[in-house]
Amino acid sequence: MSKIKIVAATGCPTGIAHTFMAEESLKKAAQELDVEIKVETHGQAGANNELTSEEIQEADGVIIAADKNVNAYRFDGKPVISVSVGKGIKDAKALINTIIEGEASIQNSNGGNDTTDTEKVAKDTNQGGSISHTIYKHLMNGVSHMLPFVVGGGILTAISFLFGIYSADPEHETYNPVAEFLNNVGGLGFEIMVPVLAAFIAESIAKRPGMVAGFIGGLIASDGGAGFLGAIVAGFAAGYIIYGLSNLLEKIPQSLSGFKTIFLYPVLGFLITGALMTILVGPMSIINNSLQSFLSSFQDGNPILLGVIVGAMCAFDMGGPVNKAAYVTGTALLTEGNMYFMAGVSAACIAPPLITAFATVFFRKYFDRSERNAGSVNFILGSTHITEGAIPFAAKNPIVVIPILMFGSSIAAVITYVIGIEVPAPHGGFLVLPVVTGAIQWVFAILTGSIIGALCYGWYRRLAFKKTNNDMYQSTNGENADDTQKLA
């Protein structure tokens, strides 16, 4: 009997950690279940190990573990399971068993191979997963494409500050032309952040025509001061406007499909999206400014409460939607010149992997070899602002471990805000220490939160280890007692 064949696609918003952790989990589970699997990963550099049409056709089922668009229309007619990337990491064996047992539903867009790319991807919006997961997937597609602009622009801007805070100003005495160049190039990355976010939210919904309309909507949001909230509204509006147009124009003959794509979608998409965003940009800018003022008031009035909120958000789902809400808010405030908020966000994102890493060092005998190896890697991941390294540890007992991670992250963020540290770069972890205002204090804040969290986590593992051994001892004694009674 031939092996079951499965193909899979994984993808997370950042394309750094979750994507490949899900790939590894699926491959490991497939090996244990004696199943043949090929996993296509949608990382930051694009799709790797791409699935061919022949491999998809021969597969007995498809697993989509992604929080971004992976072109699911390719799998029409196949049994498909569509879940978040987190489930791909935690429940890989259960997902594969669902395919083996024939419980996956058949995906059918009713489109065939002659539908346009726009129509295919538009139909994906109603395929697989809940409505909330679908919306989240579109949003994270925008975030994943936005992040390189944020990181590249933010770090170049941060490096320009090494020459002096005002060194990019030609009229200041500390002016340096290199600093001006770095600041200008980095600033362009920040300026394009909002249109790119909107464009790729829309692209996830309605492919290229959606992207074009979304970019225009994002530009209107950016120029009007609506910020990233305006970009989100523009992206979803543009995507579903093009989706609606594709339904209205679907009866146009196939021979005129090029006319739709080249002429009708751009013109009508620009017109409708532009008109809608022109109306909404005013209210959205007020909401955006109010949100920033609200967070800034916490920062100035109660940094402890702000630190607790930010720390809990960043460690709650470690790269998921709650974490991303805090991170995107930090990057938005960074573009407004607020470098305090991002300092706490970065500290809270760095802490979880370091908590698990320190715990495997301080309480070594309570972790197995694979966990100790993962802990060593987490020193590197945490130091470079990759929060996802803590997920395998949290997944084993999330009810206990996640609150510990939130506690440690909150301590790091609270100390950061109380001291008043500034971090002008949105990513990079300890690599951006040269541009951090109060770098030594920042490292102290992060290490304090991480070590306290590690002590809590290690103590929990110690108690769990002792309880397991006691249960085994009692069970063994009980069996021996039964044997003794039988002999008597």
C-alpha–C-alpha distance, residues 118 and 73, integer Å: 11
C-alpha–C-alpha distance, residues 234 and 411, integer Å: 36
Strands 36-43 and 105-106: what pairing?
unpaired
- Sequence-distant contacts of 366-374: CB under 8 A, at least 24 apart: 366/458, 366/461, 366/462, 366/464, 366/465, 367/461
181 membership: H or E segment, kind and range: helix 177-223
Assign 3-class secondary structure to 417-481: HHHCCECCCCCCHHHHHHHCECHHHHHHHHHHHHHHHHHHHHHHHHHHHHHHHHHHHHHHHHHHH
Sign of CA dihedral 81, 87, 88, 90: negative
Rounded to the nearest 10°, the torsion over CA 43, 47, 50, 52 is 140
Q: Does the active-site annotation cover 12?
A: yes
Which amino acid does the sequence have at 113?
Answer: N
C-alpha–C-alpha distance, residues 142 and 403, integer Å: 29
C-alpha–C-alpha distance, residues 404 and 463, integer Å: 15
Name, in order, each residue with C-beta under 8 angstroms of 365's C-beta and a sequence gap of 6 or more.
Answer: none
Q: Which of 226, 201, 227, 230 is nearest to 214 (CA)?
A: 201
Q: Which of 330, 322, 325 is nearest to 346 (CA)?
A: 330
Q: Which of 12, 314, 349, 456 is catalytic?
A: 12
Q: Are 326 and 313 in contact (CB under 8 A)?
A: yes
Q: Which single residue is written with the structure tokens 């147009």?
A: 245
Q: Which of 38, 48, 99 is nearest to 70 (CA)?
A: 48
Show the CA angle centred on residue 313, arms to residues 47 and 70, nearest 5°.
15
Q: Which of 432, 345, 429 is nearest to 382 (CA)?
A: 429
Q: Known catalytic residues?
A: 12
